[in-house]
Amino acid sequence: MLSLVERERYLRQISLLGETGQERLRDAAVLIAGAGGLGSVCAQMCACAGFGKIRIVDKDVVERHNLNRQVLYAARDHGLFKVDVAARRLRENNPLISVEPVRKTITRESIGGLVKGIDVIIDGMDNYDARYLLDDAAFGEDLPFIHGAVNGFYGQVSSIIPGKTPCLHCIVPHPPPSGNVPILGVTVGTIGSIQVAEAIKLVTGLGKTMAGRMLLWDGLMGEAEVLPVARDPSCTRCNGKGVFP
């Protein structure tokens, strides 16, 4: 049952999701992996939508050059740990949810604890080493993993579902060169919002997710494309588990 306060707060979306859908969001725990550009947007959108528990992980502090796109932070937050500021902002935004900030790097050692008790993993990372660790954890723990990445005006989203779709290693077998890429706030706003739309659909069972498909967004040309993604037949992570070709 939703409380009166919850009914009021979520009034304009309960008509879309139903009370059961809203209850499912309230009962869901989401891991936001990274509190940068994508992570800021994803965390904010998850808090607004009413995901009951948000665990947000990042090791960095707020720097001035983050502020063009990392919408959770203000100029006064310079030098503070991102996850601490994020937790404060998210709790201010929605006091009905629980927010757990974790100041950690995602490593092979830390990942097990980070996904414990989690229902959905959302990718807010800026490198593929960490993304592949999240992907491994998703397949190890049978959790959906919503991949997102950006570069300049471009971005991509795919929902990775163990047992149903190819893993990230199959979708992106060779990562692009690492290093800082140009990023606009509008691109992370677009891609992060689509990632959370995926999370809402996965948790409520509504609509059709980007499982087995990848959305490519080109904000420069104003074009979007959806491509099918396929497994590497020799993949040892998802081989035999995928129903997609």
Partner 1 sequence: MKVRMKSFAILRQFLPRETEVEIGDGSTVRDLLELLVKQAPPLAGELFNEKRELKDFVNILRNGRNIHFISGLDTPLSEGDLVALFPPAGGG
Q: List residues near partner 1 by CB under 8 A.
A: 34, 36-39, 123-128, 148-151, 154-156, 170, 172-178, 180-181, 183, 188, 216, 218, 220-221, 223, 225, 227-234, 245
Q: How far is CA 51 from CA 12, 30, 62, 208, 243, in A?
A: 16, 7, 25, 19, 29
Which three-class secondary structure state does DSSP give residue 95? coil
Q: Is residue 185 exposed (0-12), middle (13-18) or buried (19+ Cβ within 10 Å)? A: middle
Q: Is residue 223 exposed (0-12), middle (13-18) or buried (19+ Cβ within 10 Å)? A: exposed
Whole-number minimum distance, CB 43 to partner 1, in Å? Answer: 13
Q: Which is nearer to partner 1, 138 or 183 (CB)?
A: 183
Which three-class secondary structure state does DSSP give residue 139? helix
Classify residue 31 by its DSSP letter. Answer: E
Q: Which is nearer to partner 1, 150 or 161 (CB)?
A: 150
Beta bridge partners, 57, equal: 33, 102
**Residue entry with tokens 């979708």:** 171
The amino acid at 72: L
Q: Give the pair of three-digit tokens for residue 216.
A: 């490519």
Beta bridge partners, 100, equal: 55
Whole-number minimum distance, CB 115 to partner 1, in Å? Answer: 18
Q: Which is nearer to partner 1, 79 or 177 (CB)?
A: 177
Whole-number minimum distance, CB 236 to partner 1, in Å? Answer: 13
Listed residue (170, 171, 123, 173) closest to 150, CA to CA: 123
Whole-number minimum distance, CB 150 to partner 1, in Å? Answer: 5
Q: Which is nearer to partner 1, 36 or 162 (CB)?
A: 36
Q: Which is nearer to partner 1, 22 or 70 (CB)?
A: 70
184: CB partners within 8 A, 6+ apart = 68, 69, 152, 153, 219
Q: Which is nearer to partner 1, 92 or 223 (CB)?
A: 223
Whole-number minimum distance, CB 158 to partner 1, in Å? Answer: 10
Whole-number minimum distance, CB 171 to partner 1, in Å? Answer: 8
Whole-number minimum distance, CB 39 to partner 1, in Å? Answer: 7
Q: Which is nearer to partner 1, 114 or 125 (CB)?
A: 125
Q: Give the pair of three-digit tokens for residue 58.
A: 């990042």
